Amino acid sequence: MKKKRYSPDMPVAVWTGRDPQEGKAVDSLTVIFRTIGCYWSRKSGCTMCGYFNDAADEPPSEDNLLSQLDHALEKMVTGTSLLKIFTSGSFLDEREVSKEVRNAMMERIGKTGSIKKVMAETRPEFVNEKILGTILDILEKYDIKFEVAIGLETSSDTIRKDCINKGFTFNDFTRASEIASKMGVSTKAYLLLKPPFLSEKTAIEDALVSISDAAPYATTISLNLTNIQKGTLVEELYDRRDYRPPWLWSAVFVLRTAKEKFPGLTLVSDPVAAGTKRGPHNCRECDRDVAQALRDFSITQDIEALSWLDCECYSLWEKVVELEDYAFGSFLVK
Ligand code: SF4
Ligand SMILES: [Zn+2]
């Protein structure tokens, strides 16, 4: 696919936001670095992931990566205490970000003086004592906590392999989480609501089982609602009318049910592209309000944020959940 032009000194994206941390909402800064991208996407790739579109054509230099961090930190608002790092791959993969650059980044982050926690996304195979140790050696000087964020997607090895092609197992995730936990590093797990080839009902059941299975290994679980990304297998299925992104009602149901079961677990969801055809959606009329309620719940952790919602399409969604299993893989409502 043809890539957009980019500057190697600029991150793919950077934005400010609010995130729940230890029972209260804090200001956060999110940055997506442009690295050479995920090794797994070059080797095989996950069915829903279009992040390879954001990878650099040439490996960025150390200076490029540090300039990307500087640009991101410039956007930080006063009092920001959480920094979330993504690379469209794995921040802990040294082919993407070398140890030297990673250490230099941690020093620069420490010197900001306001960051209290750094979260970095990575596949689980890169989580080990040695890498975490070098990061903690620096962050602890500045009294900053570290969190690894892992795209577990589901606790089912069958769904992760056959529907997502993720290339790792639930055991790989738990091993990473246990190593992290021993070192005082917390784990955030990303789950995928509605991988391809699942009906709406199976997807809901899979998300609920996955939250229960992952809860002992994660302090935060983020429910990612599948959206259609360019150049992916999911896009091909969508173009053939063989896939519909999840209903927002499904996310509401999953989060409400899970929060009742695990009141102490932080559950979040930021429905990307909500209300569009290529993103999670209901009937169009209520999409905006329901997506906003999901975001409000994510910040407040208050189930009431999801309780007042109503729309005529709710009963339609209930019928879809009831009947879609009988449609042999076709979706019933666009
Ligand atoms: S979802 Fe993660 S592991 Fe899979 S291809 Fe994308 S970046 Fe790589
Ligand atoms: Zn509606």
**Ligand 1 in contact with 195 (CB < 6 A)?**
no
| Confidence band, pLDDT 50/70/90 cuts, at residue 37 | very high
Question: Would you say residue 20 lies in a domain?
Answer: yes
Residue 199 tokens, joined: 């009906």
Ligand 2 center from residue 227 Cα (angstroms): 18
Q: Tell me the HSE value of 271 on the side-chain side, using a 13 A CA sphere.
A: 31
Give me the domain span that covers residue 117. Answer: 13-236+267-272
Q: What is the pLDDT averaged over residues 4-20?
A: 94
Q: Residue 267 pLDDT > 80, yes or no?
A: yes
In a domain, 287, yes or no: no
Q: Parallel, antiparallel, or unpaired for β 13-21 and 117-121?
A: unpaired
- Supply the pLDDT for residue 281: 98
Rg (CA), the chain: 19
Nearest ligand to the CA of 38 is: 1
Determine the Cα–Cα distance for residues 112 and 75; give it in Å rounded to an integer: 12
- 107 located within any domain: yes
Which amino acid would we find at residue 49?
A: C
pLDDT greater than 70 at residue 1: no
Taking the centre of ligand 2 as the mean of its atom positions, its distance from the CA of residue 314, in whole angstroms, is 6
pLDDT, tens digit, for every residue of 166-177?
Answer: 999 999 999 999
Predicted confidence (pLDDT) per residue in 137-158, tens digit: 999 999 999 999 999 999 999 9
Averaged over 305-315, what is the pLDDT? 93
Mean pLDDT across the stretch 39-67?
Answer: 96
What is residue 80's predicted lDDT score, i.e. its pLDDT? 97
**CATH at residue 88:** 3.20.20.70
- The string of pLDDT tens digits covering residues 64-106 is 999 999 999 999 999 999 999 999 999 999 999 999 999 999 9
Cα–Cα distance for residue pair 14/75, rounded to 1 Å: 8
CA of 126 to the centre of ligand 1 (A): 13
What residues have CB less than 8 Å from 207, skipping those under 6 apart?
A: 154, 191, 193, 223, 250, 254
Identify whether 176 is part of a domain.
yes
- Domain assignment of residue 286, yes or no: no
CA–centroid distance, 242 to ligand 2, in Å, is 22
In a domain, 205, yes or no: yes
Predicted confidence at residue 2, as pLDDT, reads: 63
Specify the number of domains making up the chain. 1
Q: Is the CB of 36 under 6 A from ligand 1?
A: no
DSSP classification of residue 155: S
The mean pLDDT value for 237-258 works out to 97
Burial 200-209 (b: 16+ CB within 10 A, else e): bebbbebbbe
Residue 114 lies in a domain: yes
Q: Is residue 250 part of a domain?
A: no
Of 125, 157, 14, nearest to 80 by C-alpha is: 14
